Amino acid sequence: MIGLFKDLGSAGPLGLHALLFLAAGWAVLQVRQVLFRESPVTQVVVAFIAACGVAVAGALFVAMTAGGVPWGQVLSRTLLSGVLTAALAPLLLITLMQARWLVR
């Protein structure tokens, strides 16, 4: 869901962030046995790492398709994206947990 929200707010190709966050979600699922998922700290850290990975992958995609991207801009946007996504992740997870009955 975070990827879809980022796609709606970006000028990049629709679906890029959604696919990148899908890959990040798959990676998290591979290590979920060792994570304490109910902890807000874990949720914030995992969301920050995933968002940073997605931002770097998105910057690489832009660099390959549209030309170079300044490293300062990549770093600042990566950190900003990571912080904002990490801040929203626990709230989104609480909302989804409350709405879980909708998909059952």
Query: Is the Cα torsion angle 26, 22, 88, 65 positive or negative in sign?
Result: positive
Separation of alpha carbons 41 and 47, rounded Å = 10
CB 7 within 8 A of CB 17: yes
User: Which residues span the domain enclosing 82?
Assistant: 2-103
Q: What pLDDT does 96 receive?
A: 78
Smallest Cα–Cα separation from 91: which of 23, 33, 29, 40? 40
24-48: per-residue pLDDT in tens?
888 888 887 777 777 888 888 888 9
For 62, the 3-state DSSP assignment is helix
As separate numbers, helices (DSSP H) first and strands (DSSP E) second, the chain gives 4, 0
Q: What pLDDT does 103 receive?
A: 65
Q: How confident is the model at residue 75 (pLDDT cuts 50, 70, 90)?
A: very high
Percent above pLDDT 90 for the chain: 10
If one counts the domains in the chain, the total is: 1
**What residue has token string 């998909």?**
103
Smallest Cα–Cα separation from 18: which of 30, 28, 29, 7? 7
Residue 6: CB atoms within 10 Å: 22
* Paired tokens of 100: 């879980």
